[in-house]
Amino acid sequence: MKHTRLYQTLSAVLLVFVGFSAAAKNEDQAIRFTSIPDIFNWNISNPQPGWEESMDWLFTRLQKDGPDFTLVAGDIMDARWYEPELVKQKTEEYWGGFMKRFNDRGMTVYVAPGDHEYGDDKGLAMGDISRVFGDQFTKILDMPKNGPKNHLGRAFYVRKENLLVITLDTFEDAGKRFAYTVGDEQLAWMEKVLIDNKDAEFVIVQGHLPIVGPVKSKNSSASMMKGGTDNKLWKLMVNYGVDVYLCGEHHRITVHHHQGIWQVVHGALWGTQTNLNYMRGVVKPGSSGKPGELTLELLEFSVAYSGGHIGDHPHRGAKNKPRENVTLSAATKKDGPRVTGTLKLGFENVGKTIPTYEATGWFAKPAEAK
């Protein structure tokens, strides 16, 4: 009897140990990332006097919460330059400095072009200038070159374990100007990527422009994707079971859950807005026949500004510029960012026929699509 009880005890301990080991292994295999569209939207130098203490806090958070990669769905700088040589000079200075912030920390960043990466709305109306910006984006930011030839380095994909991330260029060369859409060549490439990676358990797509409306906006031209949910891109994402579409442009948070896709609009302007945000995500693999899990968390925090206005912003008013000094609020310094929305996704099978999710905060009451 004593031997039987000893055997039972040892078996129980072994099961607990195996359980802990499996959980630890699962945790080690987790993919951790962050998302922060419209991170500056102003021409911010590296270093930027009056900003660096706050920048160190931000990039330390991004690196800790998302050691695998950071997503930036466009608008990294203001970039209102309209002469070809000036575009080349200034993008090398500011975009190069932006990338250096990540490179100096050994961080991986995946950037989608925003309207400001083409010279803002005015630049997009000037096809020749937009093409200069596009070439500079491809050259300086050095994103993966596995996308379509007409968007090389501006549309691309990354596969990590059971996660597929597709980055889109939501601005299409239409000759005299660039259109606010995703064209047929990019769509054909994207469909092939989705087919080739059909075993991916979770699919995230990032692009600058929102597709589903309405969307809250602040200090934004409030641009949207042409055609909304009637466009080919949205229908393609629905057909292939894309889970999440991340976008920016509007500098406020709006969440939609429409036709099975979670569209998350977020981001805000450092240097202008006091209520800022970013998102962190974790993808865990499945085990013992169980599905994996994707968790997204929206985090908000406050900053304060002082001093004058940073001057290298052509075609802007005297006070329509970022402030010289950025400091974290007392609450942010003490408690860090606060979680204001959590979404957990899991699926019964890779085919995603039976979606299940848990949602709080922003995700619990998604906006109604119109």
Supply the angle between the helices 232-239 and 184-196 in degrees, to the nearest 10.
10
| φ, ψ at 279 (rounded to 5°) | -130, 145
Angstrom distances, CA of residue 218 to CA of 120, 173, 248: 16, 27, 11
- Distance between CA atoms of residues 113 and 324, nearest Å: 26
Angstrom distances, CA of residue 273 to CA of 72, 95, 309: 18, 22, 14
The per-residue DSSP string of 217-258 comes to: -SSS-----TTGGGSHHHHHHHHTT--EEEE-SSSS-EEEEE
pLDDT by residue for the chain (370 residues), tens only, comes to 434 444 444 444 333 333 434 444 455 789 999 999 999 999 999 999 999 999 999 999 999 999 999 999 999 999 999 999 999 999 999 999 999 999 999 999 999 999 999 999 999 999 999 999 999 999 999 999 999 999 999 999 999 999 999 999 999 999 999 999 999 999 999 999 999 999 999 999 999 999 999 999 999 999 999 999 999 999 999 999 999 999 999 999 999 999 999 999 999 999 999 999 999 999 999 887 788 999 999 999 999 999 999 989 999 999 999 999 999 999 999 999 999 999 999 855 545 555 568 999 999 999 999 9
Neighbour count for residue 55 (Cβ, 10 Å): 17
**Could you say which DSSP state residue 151 is in?**
G
**Could you say which DSSP state residue 270 is in?**
T
Cβ-Cβ contacts under 8 Å for 108 (sequence gap 6 or more): 68, 69, 70, 102
- Distance between CA atoms of residues 341 and 360, nearest Å: 5
The model's pTM: 0.91
- Distance between CA atoms of residues 237 and 214, nearest Å: 19
Domains of the chain, first to last: 31-361 (3.60.21.10)
Write down the number of H helices and E strands in the chain: 8, 16
Burial (CB < 10 A; 0-12, 13-18, 19+), residue 349, is exposed
Cβ-Cβ contacts under 8 Å for 34 (sequence gap 6 or more): 62, 65, 66, 69, 70, 71, 278, 279, 280, 281
**Amino acid 353: pLDDT:** 53
- Distance between CA atoms of residues 147 and 84, nearest Å: 25
The per-residue DSSP string of 99-131 comes to: HHHHHTTT--EEE---GGGGTHHHHHT-HHHHH
Angstrom distances, CA of residue 318 to CA of 42, 152, 169, 270, 315: 14, 37, 32, 18, 10
Which residue has tokens 């409030």? 222
The structure tokens listed for 342 are 């959590």
**Amino acid 4: pLDDT:** 42
Q: Which of 258, 281, 256 is nearest to 204 (CA)?
A: 281
- Distance between CA atoms of residues 329 and 338, nearest Å: 13
The per-residue DSSP string of 1-49 comes to: -HHHHHHHHHHHHHHHHHHHHHHHHHHHT-EEEEE-TTS--S---SS-T
Write the single-letter amino acid at 209: L
